[in-house]
Amino acid sequence: MSVSVDRQLGYGIIVPLVTPLNTDGSIDTGALRRLVDYVIQGGVDAVFVMGSSGEFPRFSREEWARTVGAVVQHAAGRVPVYAGVGEARWQEVTLRLEMGFDLGIDAAVLAPTYYFPLNQEEICRFYETVGAKSPGPLFLYSIPPYTQVSIEPSTVKRIANAVPLAGIKDSGSDIDVFRSYLEVAAELEGFKVVIGNEGMLEEALKLGASGAVPSLANVFPQLLADVFAASQSGDWDRVSSLCIKIDRINYLNGIIESSMNVVAWKKYALNLLGICGPTMTFPSVCYDEKTEEIIKKHLVENGLSLPL
């Protein structure tokens, strides 16, 4: 029997926010508020602060708390707020869980501890220990490229039967694993499965994903909201058409060779929109003028409306 979670968490499009920075690398809370307004007005169902798109490992605990608190305060109940609480030390994870819910988040998102890859038994022990200490709903987060391990479906089931879980975000690249997560979810009351890999979005929605966590929604929130709405109404031709557009825009993910480029071009796009500056956490990504022109041209060709 599963341990259920009774909480409305705004499944659908959960946008993993970038973290706007001033030129000195400090958190730009004014820009963060503009970004929250922009994505909410674009129709997203929830916001997710301090995830991978938010460059979370490069911020101190104090910066993390300041950013999470600012998002909660400005969202002001308009949409649920998720916060990433991942860290290398489990004691820091439990601290951030407590801090996050004290700040008013609606759910926490937690990947396995990183740097030293965990085996499945260690993953279970980790989540069972910290999950028992969580003051609120907890999402598992499977992101193999950064933790070097996938959370196996049988492991998900074991954890969910030990501690309350709201669901799992899958940012892997194996659709068969995603399908297996959905099979596990069918046996667990209130457990949701959301997709993080935009390249698998159409297939995941057809399989019955409860939502998506697409980084692209920072720049194109309405596009992602439209995809999910079309899936809910069963208009799969429209889903396919919109996902083709998403794939076309995401050509920019490979515009330069950098693991942080996927975030950097979005900050540059948001800078073009007047929402936040393009500054990344040091030492990641600094575009030359030629690359900036390529990015701008591609965005405009694919429907980004720039201010006059």
As annotated, the active-site residues are 141, 169
For residue 132, the tally of other CB atoms under 10 A from its CB is 11
Q: What is the dihedral of CA 96, 108, 127, 1, to 10 degrees?
A: 140
Q: Say if residue 295 is exposed, middle or buried (CB neighbours under 10 Å; 0-12, 13-18, 19+).
A: buried
Separation between Cα atoms, residue 165 and residue 181, nearest integer Å: 13
Name the nearest CA neighbour of 289 among 281, 300, 301, 297.
297
Which residue's entry shows tokens 């994903």?
A: 209
214 DSSP 8-state letter: -
How many Cα atoms sit within 13 Å of 124 on the Cβ side? 14
Separation between Cα atoms, residue 271 and residue 87, nearest integer Å: 29
Beta-bridged to residue 49, according to DSSP, are: 83
Separation between Cα atoms, residue 176 and residue 212, nearest integer Å: 17
What is the sign, positive or negative, of the torsion defined by CA atoms of 9, 13, 16, 21?
negative
What is the sign, positive or negative, of the torsion defined by CA atoms of 179, 227, 195, 132?
negative
